[in-house]
Structure 1
Amino acid sequence: MSAGRSGKRVADIEPSRLALLNTGAVEAATLTECLAVDFATLMQVVLPEIGEDAVGAMREAAREGISRRMALAARLIHERRGMADLAKLRCHASDTVRGWACFMVGVAKDHTLAERLALIRPQADDLHFGVREWSWMAVRPYIAVDPEDAIARLAGWTAEPSERLRRFASEATRPRGVWCAHIGLLRQSPEKALPILEPLQADPAPYVQDSVGNWLNDAGKDRPEWVRSLCARWSAESPMPATARIYKRALRSIDRKD
């Protein structure tokens, strides 16, 4: 999960601020604050009916990585409450709780990819950086299973007014990605993602540009000549700063090898 840099350590967070985070009264402002949240305490406050066994399981997992704890929280909630709390959690003041809602979409049974994408859409467009990262991570396993279906469905998101939704289409389909399984089909045949990439070649938002550049940087580790050719064509078709920024980011790993 990416976020703005912070020089703080967890121990540097004021106790009063940490108490607000742990009771779900405020959003985390930095990655450090995201990592500092006590999931067991937060779960007990937000879902007092969840049961002590769930809270205890969350407490036992306190030393696990945050991605595992997010997924565990969602499983515990889903096992005991189904999807009944999804609407409540997805609009909660706490970004961590809204992250649990993301992973509930991931753990829910008997949903098609189309249904999962529809359910994750509010979190993909969330104002908080962390929730947006959890949104694509939560559905990434299903995208990896059927990337061609995902590309066909997400291609339409590239025309959305929200840069956050446009970025989701790119970030969720990266061939290698971060903290997620690779998508073998797109490593071998990145051209299959052109329905998503082409509309974003000169996107005005740096947030989207960086994601597209990272997508192509991933692809360049397996298909460098394809990436070079695509970037050259885009530069000719769209000779503007947005495309140049994507081009530079896309070729950074390839250029280091040369």
Structure 2
Amino acid sequence: MAEPLKNLLHPGLVKDMARHISRVASDFDADRFTALATDGMDTLELMQRAEQIKDALTQTLPANYVDAADSLRKALPAEGKPGLSGWALLPVNQFVSEHGLGHFDLSLALLKALTPHFTAEFGIRRFIDTEQDRALAEISGWVTDANHHVRRLASEGTRPRLPWAMRLPALVKQPAPILPILVALIDDPEDYVRRSVANSLNDIAKDHPALVADFVERHIEGASAERRQLLRHASRTLLKKGDAKALANFGFAAVRGIAASLNVATPVVIFGDKLGFSITVSNEDAAPQRLMIDYAIHHVKANGTLAPKVFKWKTLDLPAGGRHTIDKEHAIRAITTRVYYPGIHRVEILINGTVCAAADFDLRMD
């Protein structure tokens, strides 16, 4: 079984934090910090642990924020020496977000400095939410930074619907202010940065589908393979929903004369095993067709209703009169993002966003 996410923050990490801060701040009470940060930690989930460590920082760092920020910055890795890094910087993000608004520029500079050692995407959001124009004016300058972590922070930290983080309601409603950042990074040499751009555009597509479909149309002509991959990933929500403009951007059209037959090889699935199925697709139209084939699993919820989740599968060019069979196995096992319940589930086949076949299967919890 996978290690629980909460264990990313653990007593050993807290002790390391105390050691690194004590190295640069002789008056830091490492023992008190450690006791406060680890009190009852075993009972807490990940974000609760981060909050408790942040509170311990608040109680043991200098009350003067400028001095506290100076200690945190000096405790970061530098010149080959170890320092605060990795998940230890999640509560540092929270500390800066909670206490640093009155020192806007100093705080953004600290978050920029720490992001190469973890990420500051959580810390900068309160600054954007509080003073959007001022924050974006600074963040926009990071798109040309030599460090790819800083460039990624410019796109990831401004995502309107960043998971695990506070939403940015103003950017959810009107994302235009961050589009120049995304355009500037659309051909970044690092895939790590480009994927962040794609994720931000996908966030925007959930509220402004036409805006993103138009954005993709403007930037796909003559696009490199890397940019095209970015734009495809940015369009994933729209493609799963069968958005006509998004489909057209990638050469897909409404299906014509397409027949699909679905065979479920495992009508009864024991939890932990795999759902096996296959489809045979026939093109009965007089012209070849480009097909985007996905499938949706309709999972049983706690209240007995079904909730669909769409999964990407295959792209296929099918000639007129052509016929093609595809097999698939879908694992149904314990994951951190879903709770499974027994009962009759449903699998659907979507071709260019249209449901073309469906069948049920029975999930049993052994």
TM-score by length of structure 2 reads 0.55
2:272 counterpart residue number: none
CA contact (8 A) 1:201 1:234 kept: no
| Cα separation, partners in 2 of 1:166 and 1:52, compared to 1, 3 Å | closer
| Cα separation, partners in 2 of 1:179 and 1:112, compared to 1, 3 Å | same
CA contact (8 A) 2:6 2:45 kept: no
Matched AA of 1:124: T
Please list, as runs of the form range in 1=range in 2, the aligned pairs for 1:5-154 lying within 5 A after superposition: 9=3, 34-35=8-9, 38=12, 41-42=15-16, 49-52=29-32, 55-56=35-36, 58-82=38-62, 83=68, 85-91=71-77, 92=83, 95-109=86-100, 111-126=102-117, 131-132=118-119, 135-154=120-139
2:231 counterpart residue number: 247
Distance in 1 (CA, whole Å) between partners of 2:135 and 2:164 is: 19
1:168 aligns with 2:168: no
Shift of the alpha carbon at 1:88?
Answer: 4.5
| Cα separation, partners in 2 of 1:75 and 1:85, compared to 1, 3 Å | farther
Distance in 2 (CA, whole Å) between partners of 1:195 and 1:228 is: 16
2:214 partner SS = helix
| Cα separation, partners in 2 of 1:138 and 1:109, compared to 1, 3 Å | closer
2:284 counterpart residue number: none
Distance in 1 (CA, whole Å) between partners of 2:162 and 2:84 is: 28
Q: What stretches of structure 1 move > 6 A for 4+ residues in a row?
A: none
CA contact (8 A) 1:187 1:219 kept: yes
Shift of the alpha carbon at 1:224?
Answer: 0.4
1:156 counterpart residue number: 141
Matched AA of 1:148: D
Residue deviations 1:71-113 (CA, integer Å, cap 9, x gap): 3212322322221631443231653444444333223345343
- Unaligned 5+ segments in structure 2 are 23-27, 63-67, 78-82, 243-366
CA contact (8 A) 2:115 2:149 kept: yes
Distance in 2 (CA, whole Å) between partners of 1:139 and 1:202 is: 24
More helix by share: 1
Residue deviations 1:145-199 (CA, integer Å, cap 9, x gap): 2333222211110111221111000000001111112112211211121221111
1:14 counterpart residue number: none
Distance in 1 (CA, whole Å) between partners of 2:145 and 2:199 is: 20
Distance in 2 (CA, whole Å) between partners of 1:152 and 1:207 is: 23
1:177 aligns with 2:187: no
| Cα separation, partners in 2 of 1:203 and 1:43, compared to 1, 3 Å | closer
Residue deviations 1:15-44 (CA, integer Å, cap 9, x gap): xxxxxxxxxxxxxxxx78625555555566
Distance in 2 (CA, whole Å) between partners of 1:112 and 1:137 is: 17
More strand by share: 2
Residue-pair matches, total: 225
1:138 partner SS = coil
Distance in 1 (CA, whole Å) between partners of 2:33 and 2:94 is: 20
CA contact (8 A) 1:174 1:215 kept: yes
Q: Quick one: which of 206, 209, 223 aligns to 2:194? A: 209
Greater Rg by CA: 2
TM-score by length of structure 1 reads 0.75
Q: Quick one: which of 191, 196, 204 aligns to 2:176? A: 191
1:62 partner SS = helix
Distance in 1 (CA, whole Å) between partners of 2:140 and 2:176 is: 13
Shift of the alpha carbon at 1:234?
Answer: 1.2
- The root-mean-square deviation of aligned C-alpha atoms, in Å, is 2.7
Residue deviations 1:45-94 (CA, integer Å, cap 9, x gap): 66582454861453224332223322321232232222163144323165
Q: Quick one: which of 218, 224, 228 aligns to 2:203? A: 218
Moved more, 223-232 or 102-111: 102-111
CA contact (8 A) 2:185 2:194 kept: yes
CA contact (8 A) 1:44 1:55 kept: no
2:316 counterpart residue number: none
Question: Which of structures 1 and 2 has the larger relative contact order (alpha carbons within 8 angstroms, sep 6+)?
Answer: 1
